[in-house]
Chains A and B, each alone.
Chain A
């Protein structure tokens, strides 16, 4: 097995560098975070259950539309 088979995008090899612990708890992009908080306050989270339900309904409608018309 070569290293690229181990180092996948889903399980990348990450080198631990303790110098990066310096940034723990520090906001490196404060404007971005403020904007995110503002947007999330205005729009909120996705209604996951509702979106899932709507997707299933769309798929069901699509399957019905694609189904062959029965002939006698």
Chain B
């Protein structure tokens, strides 16, 4: 297992990924799903906990003490998904303001690697702009470079 990321499983379509967060609260299964939106080639990134009931919750705060490792794992799924879907654009917004902030932190942390292969945009009240670190964005969009 990579020290900085969790081992990840995927279905054959590389659209649904699963990994297990391991931390102070124990083992928490996580799901990342890339699902088509109403815009061609635009996918929404969904991310949350897989509950014992079999349902999914993207609002729960797991507080497992491993947010950096979880973020790195989600970023890795982004690379895997877009490797299989090179024309895909991915829209991401947290289910809560703090989750959106977490996405911003993750993008900023891996910005160098992400920018090698993606164009990254952030949404402000005035519309979309090229992503700048440490700015408060409402949502994000990444597009694989041609």
Contacts and interface: CB of A to CB of B under 8 A. Distances in A.
B40 to A, nearest CB: 10
29 contacts: A4-B2, A4-B3, A9-B72, A9-B113, A10-B79, A11-B79, A12-B8, A12-B76, A13-B2, A16-B9, A16-B11, A18-B11, A20-B9, A21-B11, A23-B11, A24-B16, A28-B46, A29-B56, A32-B44, A36-B37, A36-B44, A36-B91, A39-B91, A40-B39, A41-B38, A45-B128, A46-B127, A46-B141, A47-B128
A45 B9 contact: no
Given A14-B14, A14-B80, A16-B12, A43 B127 contact: yes
Interface residues on B, range: 35 or more
A24 B5 CA distance: 24
- Give chain A's interface residue range (CB within 8 Å of chain B): 35 or more
Given A4-B3, A36-B44, A39-B139, A10 B117 contact: yes
A15 interface: yes
B79 A9 contact: yes
B57 to A, nearest CB: 9
Interface in A12-64: 12-24, 27-29, 31-33, 35-37, 39-41, 43, 45-48, 51, 55
Closest 5 CB pairs of A and B: A46-B128, A29-B46, A20-B11, A12-B76, A17-B9
Contact of A12 (B35, B42, B80): B80
